[in-house]
Amino acid sequence: MNKKVLTVVLSAVFFFHPFFAQNAAVSAFLDGCKAYTSGDWTSAVFSLKKAAAFEENNNAETYYMLINAEIYSGDFQSALDSCIYFLEEFKGSFYESNVVYLKGRCFYSLGEYDKAVITLSDFCHQYEGHDMYPSSLFWIGEAFYACYQYDDARALYQRVVSEFPDDVKAPACQYRIETISQRDREEKLLYLLKQTGEEYLFAKEEYEKQLKLYSSDTNAGTRAKLYEAQRKNAELEEKYNALQREVDALKGGNKMPVSSGPTEAELELLRQLRIKAEETRYLLETKSQKNNQETVRIE
């Protein structure tokens, strides 16, 4: 938004105010200017629309102020309509490039991300040296980010940071880059958790299978398989815990929400399996000792 231009326009209007105080068109425009400078956006929109109804105020300056007032008031649909009208009626205006940029911003704010990307990309192609060029790159990146196209978004954020390090949008771009990097790490961790969960389910089934076999067979081979299942369960639990600590560390950064890992119920089940394994081992050892004692008696 060209605030310097707006300042010049407003200064000129206030300077000539005494000469046009009786003119209804100028009076409406002045009311809009006063509301605009005071930050009363609702009143500014109302007065500027009223002013624009007069033929002498139906010009680029009035509509450019109206567009900005509508954006500041949060009425992006009206601002978009005003942008479209401006670009049709005031082609070649000094404000045309700014209005193209604002049109793209309106599309983004309305959630029409594809149209925002197209409009702001056109702006970048047409006005490469414009003051709002870095901001256009940022908002294109934001549109990609909103559509989960993180790689495309990161490329634009990195461009702003590297080519325009002093621009007002550079810190926001750096933050987004770090956020996307954290998200990539989170996805890798969650993938590992998923893989570990599948291994855990397999190990649990194998353990239960060996436990059933033990109830009818106490030979050395079954005992060895049961011990192996117990060992795998313990390893998987430790692996779960290690990965969960990393996910918790990401949560502690508060940069973006982290998807949940293994549930408390799953971890509790692991703990119960370990207890059962210990109990089974105790039973095996007790029976083994009894068998040895019986063998000694027979001898």
Here the tokens at position 219 are 């030979």
Q: Please state, in angstroms and rounded to a whole number, the distance separating the CA atoms of residues 248 and 237.
A: 16
Using one digit for the tens of pLDDT, what is the confidence trace for 31-65?
999 999 999 999 999 999 999 999 989 999 999 99
- Among the listed residues 66, 89, 87, 90, the one whose alpha carbon sits nearest the alpha carbon of residue 78: 66
Q: What is the pLDDT of residue 183?
A: 84
**Full DSSP string of 43-91:** HHHHHHHHHHTSGGG-SHHHHHHHHHHHHHTT-HHHHHHHHHHHHHHST
Q: What is the pLDDT of residue 197?
A: 60
The pTM of the full predicted model, rounded to 2 decimals, is: 0.63
Q: What is the pLDDT of residue 254?
A: 47
Q: Please state, in angstroms and rounded to a whole number, the distance separating the CA atoms of residues 69 and 45.
A: 6
Q: Please state, in angstroms and rounded to a whole number, the distance separating the CA atoms of residues 88 and 56.
A: 18
**Full DSSP string of 250-276:** HHHHTSS-----S-HHHHHHHHHHHHH
Low pLDDT (below 50) residues in the chain: 1, 5, 8, 12, 14-22, 254-261, 295-299
Q: Please state, in angstroms and rounded to a whole number, the distance separating the CA atoms of residues 213 and 257.
A: 45
Using one digit for the tens of pLDDT, what is the confidence trace for 77-125?
999 999 999 999 999 999 999 999 999 999 999 999 999 999 999 999 9
Q: What is the pLDDT of residue 49?
A: 95
Tell me the average pLDDT of the chain: 78
Q: What is the pLDDT of residue 299?
A: 46
